[in-house]
Structure 1
């Protein structure tokens, strides 16, 4: 997103914001000691990331940090650890946290893509589902079997071939969870859509979405701004104390997917979301329930998933400034004039901003 778009709050073409889509599969070691070696690497990678966050917090320059990290691992792992650390620091600032108290609990490894190195310098996808992972301490390669869902196999095969030809790169993230290892591959969007596109939306209507922690509202309007349809999905249980975050995420994504599918079959050609990327900080109040909803709602993640889902249907997708869509005189007037609740009124204003 350009700086001018960020500052003036204009309409943003969302397709320019998404370059990759992540798919996940399980890794099974082919040799008994490869699991332990990978675990050691993950521990050291985590240590490097945490070390980098502390140096960033102290104001150490980037070149000095990179030299330290590369000496701890290798160049590619070190560079990736630095990028992860920067993201953690930015997230901590966004949440008004203390940079010196950042903790990294989970074991993981990240390796950035590089087309000239067969797609990735440290994590190599090979034929027959074999994955080679660079062990930086002696320069050897650890060998694993990758188990992806059946629907992803043709996509992965093409990615392997394009990487072999040095025509495409992919990022890799290895995570340890419940005694198992999972590989997350970052697929270029163009290749992903080639395999998973669901249609080509050619409708003339515009739909606006209001995304919230416990509900999603949508309003469909025509070119004159007249409301043609409204829909809402509620899932209040996801903000309850103790409700699993993964299940909450799945509920929200399922609800958004159903609403997008409805829009596709009801004449919509343009999808409009609030540009939640413009909201830099979370605003907590005195209401504990409301604060829990805010804290448990990964709104940026839901937005990015929504953009990808919409693009799979062939919608044109735009982001508009959130300014005035929830607390404004115009919002109150829309509620009274059209008889909408506050969330539907927000969705209507979002659609109208996209229409303009």
Structure 2
């Protein structure tokens, strides 16, 4: 019987993929897979600030040890069934060696299979970009590898080698749009299964906002649900809030952080900035706001932020995309699809909510998730192998 492994270049953390990894590791071990994942670094600066010097020294040692440990464990995996996650952080050449020696299922987190930026956002126009679907030679001069800052030429060579190896891989796509992009890149014959995404964070409970214990006096009209990145639409949201100055807005990041991303000062007094996580304030903001905005501008597959927004909020807005997961809500009553033009988007919101007045939300948590039916990908893999 073949051995079975889950290999990931990202470990468990409070980030988007890190939250997914927490659930995947638990599922993998239950289904007989051995997990080989990178360790998540802890903040040394915070340790030093709290005078935890021995912890800081240990952290430095563990950071040096982890790449060696990961390399050695992956190096000797062969003739096995492997579910692979996030090749960028695992190492592209390492991923291709695993493909050569094993039966690999790649669980696709982003669009790094054709775009060196991983998020296929045009660096100047800030719209979905598909130039490199025909091959990495179409890359723009302004594009640089992300999230790992490797040499650009090395990344381009990897994409060519990846295309050559694609026939050996079974791709596990999160949504229909992502599956379409995979086949556009590698051909219609490519093995692709749409499996959704389950971070294990959607609780099966009923919530009555009017009777909850949450402080409604701190609610906002508009809440940005995403990381402070251009691809996640932070500039779009800031510009939208600036145009809708009669609406109150909230961003779960520091003002300094957002200004660094936008490379300009933000002077609008209707925007509140507060660095917080889902557990330390963002969830409450989502539950009590008028409209949650998830304005990812790339061909985003299933982002945990959008999942939670649709599940917990009364009303959600996205930005129209050609291949993003939000497109699959095109006939949904719970999602407003805004145009990419910010001024046009502000007109849509003003017409729908004149005077910044939102309907009171008193409802059961919606179960309008389309493709992510909590498929256990490890059971799917096992069944495919049998």
Bigger relative contact order, structure 1 or 2, given CA contacts below 8 A and separation 6+?
1
The answer to whether the superposition gives a TM-score over 0.5 is: no
Q: Where is the strand percentage greater, Structure 1 or Structure 2? A: 1
TM-score, normalised to structure 1, is: 0.32
